[in-house]
Amino acid sequence: MEQKKNDGILKWVLIIIAAFFLFIMVIMPLGMVVAGSFAMGFKYYIASITDKYTLKALSLTLRATIASVICTSVFGLMAAWAVTRYSFPGKKIIKSIIDIPVTISPVICGMIFLLLFGRQGFIYPLLDKVGIDVIFAVPGIIIVTVFVTLPMVFREIVPVLEARGTEEEEAAAMMGASGWTIFTKITFPSIKWPFIYGMILSASRAMGEFGAVSVISGHLRGLTNTLPLHVEILFNEFNTTEAFAVASILVMLSIALLILRLVLQYVSKRKISRMQKATA
Amino acid sequence: MERSTSKKIIPGFGLTFGITVAILGLLVILPLSYIVIYTLKLSPKEFFGVIFTRRVLTSFWISISTAFIAMLINTVMGILIAFVLVRYDFPGKKLMDGLIEIPFALPTAVAGISLTALYRENGALGRFFHHFGIPVAYSRFGIVIALTFVSIPYVIRSVQPVLQNLDPSIEEAASSMGASRFKTFRKVIFPEIEPAVFSGAALAFGRCLGEYGSVVFIAGNMPYKTEIVPLIIMSKLQEFSYSEASAIAFVMLIISFLILMISNIVASHNIKIKGGVS
């Protein structure tokens, strides 16, 4: 009896500590964005988020995000297929190389492309002749964003494919099915949910990427600004309210993606448990 | 492709393997090798001349110490929160579970400006600390706050599934045999979740070392005081001292690969206890 009572007290003490920590560390920063955005009234807020530069930055952020999602999807499917459906030497090395973009500092991610495409890189003379600007321009922003999100889909679908094994695909291949048929009829249906999950993760990372694009952008206002860079400029110019207003667009987008992700997790978990019930 | 060795029955190896290697080569290996090329341009003497300056060494110390403290905070809080989420039922539990994802979902620059505004001298939380004469924004304390924010989910997410699979009856047995709550935790629960705690903490530490977006606003970026390594790389790049920047980045890469290696060794050492992450 005594023990039970103590457990009840302990339970609530632990819950309150956890809730307090998350309140200070997570809820207050979110609340700060809301409070900061509306510090000068609703009209000012609307004016800031429909500002010409804000809309331009939003458009670049969306373009870079779409490019990233497409690249990580195509690369993720190809690489996951190669790595899980066949055995070949050097597989482990390839897997760890694929992980590099998410393990190194964003600043270093941006820096390697600055070195490669910049004035001192060996590709520069070629680019100069053709007249393409990569560094301090839109293509550079898109390339680094694609780089930092490259492994996202791969990392989500590989564990599922590895757990599934290759028997079904091998059987289909023996019966003469083409690679495309095997992929669309057997492989893809089983990785559909983690595939979409990976796409959402990459969209959310691409949208908010800051360090890497910061190195590569050169901060040309209106030309090479993504939303996070625009937030930085406004904040450093002491336009705090506008900075928070622009940040609130990012918050809304990222929370929408987060909710989508949680719903997806819930739906796929329920599907799995239903399947397990059906087989049991 | 038609060579039907026993291991390559499924078609498509040439295509998928080729594209994978081509993309990796162009987008990852080629650019990354540039750091090595740039660093090799420096003679050993020049290289050590760049690294062993007081400013660079101080920034490494600041980066490593603040990342370590943030990791410790999140290890303790991570175990606690994972335990609360797995073991207890209470209103708002689902919300708490979702909130943990916010630091991963929120763009780092947004976290940076909002933490800065909160912890400034006149900010909602900064005022409280200022009352006691502790400056948070534009100090190392501020860096720790930002790093703690971005690495909240790691330990929780790696401990949660392990704790879920743990049989609560073992704990009940321990406590019915008269072990105190604390002793049960230390002797029964902790050994089971230790590998997961360790790998989560290593991931958090790695993330903190490289973090830039959330720190740049709150740190104030004063050399010798609040300048972390990614910031020093950034300022070298802005001065066009590319070889110095790549030398510092090179050391940074070695440190992060060492962390990865150590955590892999520890993970394989503890392979008998595997946390099934869904």
Domain boundaries, chain B: 43-269
- The tens digit of pLDDT for each residue in A110-150 reads 999 998 888 877 788 888 888 888 888 889 999 999 999 99
Let me know whether A213 and A267 are in one domain: yes
Question: Model confidence at B181, in pLDDT bands (50, 70, 90)?
Answer: confident
A250 and B110 within 8 Å at the Cβ level: the answer is yes
B246·A111 Cβ contact <8 A: yes
Q: Tell me, what's the pLDDT at B134?
A: 87
Is residue B70 within 8 A of residue B144, CB to CB? The reply is yes
Q: In this structure, what token pair is assigned to residue B170? A: 């073992």
Residues A136 and A30 in one domain: no
Report DSSP state, residue A247. H
Indicate whether A114 and A250 sit together in one domain.
Answer: yes
Distance in angstroms (rounded) separating the CA atoms of residues A203 and A209: 10
Q: Does position A243 have pLDDT exceeding 70, yes or no? A: yes
The answer to whether the beta carbons of residues B30 and A116 sit under 8 Å apart is yes
pLDDT attached to residue A3 = 55
Helices and strands (H and E) in chain B: how many = 16, 0
A chain contacts of residue B83, beta-carbon cutoff 8 Å: 14
Task: Please say whether the beta carbons of A239 and A261 come within 8 A.
Answer: no
Average pLDDT over residues B155-169: 89
| Residue B18 reports pLDDT greater than 80 | yes
For domain B43-269, the CATH architecture is: Orthogonal Bundle (1.10)
Task: Please state the rounded mean pLDDT for residues B128-157.
Answer: 92
Cα–Cα distances in Å, from B129 out to A99, A175, B78, B225, B234? 40, 71, 24, 19, 30
Same domain, A1 and A92: no
DSSP assignment of A76-95, as one string?
Answer: HHHHHHHHHH---TTHHHHH
Q: How far is the CA of B88 from the CAs of A14, B54, B66, in angstroms?
A: 10, 50, 32
Between residues 3 and 22 of chain B, which touch chain A (CB distance below 8 Å)?
7-13, 15-17, 19-21
Domain count, chain A: 2
The whole-angstrom separation of Cα B85 and Cα A15 is 9
Residue whose token pair is 């870079």: A64
Q: What is the pLDDT of residue A21?
A: 96
* Average of per-residue pLDDT across B106-131: 92
What's the pLDDT score for residue B7?
Answer: 56
Looking at the fold, whether A84 and A169 belong to one and the same domain comes out as yes
Beta-strand ranges (E) seen in A201-264 are none
Q: pLDDT at position B58, please? A: 94
Closest-CA residue in chain A for B82? A18
Please tell me the predicted confidence (pLDDT) of residue B270. Answer: 66
Write down the pLDDT at residue B271: 57
- A57-98 pLDDT per residue, tens: 999 999 999 999 999 999 999 999 999 988 888 888 898 899
Q: Which residue of A has its CA nearest to B119?
A: A29
- What is the model's pLDDT at position B109? 94
Nearest by CB: B81 against A18, A210, A231: A18
Distance in angstroms (rounded) separating the CA atoms of residues B19 and B212:
32
Contact A208/B9, CB-based, under 8 Å? no
pLDDT tens digit string along B242-262? Answer: 889 999 999 999 998 888 888
Residues in chain A with CB shorter than 8 Å from the CB of B210 are 104-108
Angle at B78 between CA B75 and CA B82, to 5 degrees: 145
Q: What residues in B contact A229, CB-CB < 8 Å?
A: 109
Q: Return the CATH number at A56.
A: 1.10.3720.10
Is the model's pLDDT at B275 over the cut of 70? no
Q: How far apart are CA A145 and CA A202, in angstroms?
A: 10
Check whether B11 has a pLDDT greater than 70. yes
Whether the Cβ atoms of residue A198 and residue B27 lie closer than 8 Å to each other: no
Same domain? A17 vs A98 = no
Q: At B1, is the pLDDT very low, low, confident or very high (cuts 50, 70, 90)?
A: very low
Helix ranges restricted to H, A86-134:
91-103, 106-117, 124-130
Q: Which residues in chain B have Cβ-Cβ distances shorter than 8 Å to A269?
A: 278
Alpha-carbon separation of residue A260 from A191, A229, B59, B109 (angstroms): 17, 25, 39, 22
Domain co-membership, A2 together with A104: no
Average confidence score pLDDT of chain A: 89
Cβ contacts of B81 on chain A, cutoff 8 Å = 18, 21-22
B residues 41..70 contacting A (CB < 8 A): none
* pLDDT cut 70: percent of chain B above it: 94
Tell whether A28 and A51 lie within a shared domain.
no
Same domain, A190 and A238: yes
Q: What is the mean pLDDT of residues B122-132?
A: 88
pLDDT over 70 at A207, yes or no: yes
Smallest CA-to-CA distance from A59 within A222, A215, A220, A216 is with A222
* Residue A181: domain span: 45-279
Query: Which percentage of chain B shows pLDDT scores above 90?
Result: 53
Residue B38 has pLDDT above 50, yes or no: yes
Closest Cα in chain A to B86: A15
Residue A191 and residue A111 in contact, taking contact as beta carbons nearer than 8 Å: no
pLDDT band of B190, cuts 50, 70, 90: confident
**pLDDT-based confidence at residue A280 (cuts at 50, 70, 90):** low
